[in-house]
Amino acid sequence: MRGLLVGRMQPVHRGHIQVIERILDEVEEVIIGIGSAQVSHSIKDPFTAGERVMMITKALAENNVDASRYYVIPVQDIECNSIWVAHMEMLTPPFEHVYSGNPLVQRLFTEKGYQVTEPPLFNRKSYSGTEVRRRMLSGDKWEELVPQSVIKAINEIDGISRIKQLARREV
């Protein structure tokens, strides 16, 4: 059986890795959809789809997840919720099971007959993209919330300087 998890992953954090490991206890393969793939260089969505693919790929390798057990697929947003499931199906290998905490995602897949499960949230107060970005901007310790390989990837692309520059106002 194959499962699907979709998230913007701005950036990838330890919660994502833990939930992916949990999903892989239940299904043979997991499809990781990198949502809002077209968006980058904003405070809410600082990283490109390619940068996020790099982060998740390296973080799963760091955690010894077998590369033959997952697919990482960027997925652009579309205007029409009613055909979003078909859009996902066009881009991904076939899957039977959807894991999501997002009510809209849950609803859309349930209406199309998929089995939908709400996965548990791990340490959600800290392991959240919103919290990681807040710490990056305020100069607080964000590094403990993400895998080592994600710190390295963010340093490689000068990500902290990017997010701080995006937060400035034009004078």
CB of 146 to ligand ATP, least distance (A): 11
Closest among 80, 85, 75 to 33, alpha carbons compared: 75
- One residue of 127, 153, 159, 163 binding ligand ATP per CB under 6 A: 127
Structure tokens at 17: 């890795």
CB of 70 to ligand ATP, least distance (A): 14
Task: Kindly indicate which of the ranges 63-71, 82-90, 106-114, 127-135 contains the residues binding ligand ATP, using the contact rule CB under 6 A.
Answer: 127-135
Closest CB to ligand ATP among residues 103, 170: 103
Q: Is 130 a binder of ligand ATP (CB under 6 A)?
A: yes
- CA distances (Å), 125 to each of 14, 75, 129, 131, in order? 12, 27, 10, 8
Q: Is 100 a binder of ligand ATP (CB under 6 A)?
A: yes
- One residue of 40, 63, 117, 128 binding ligand ATP per CB under 6 A: 128
Report the residue count for the chain: 171
Question: Residues 68-106, buried b or exposed e (16+ Cβ, 10 A)?
Answer: eebbbbbbeeeeeeeebbeebeeebeebebbbbeeeebb
Interaction site with ligand ATP (CB under 6 A):
7-10, 15-16, 18-19, 100-102, 119, 121-124, 127-130
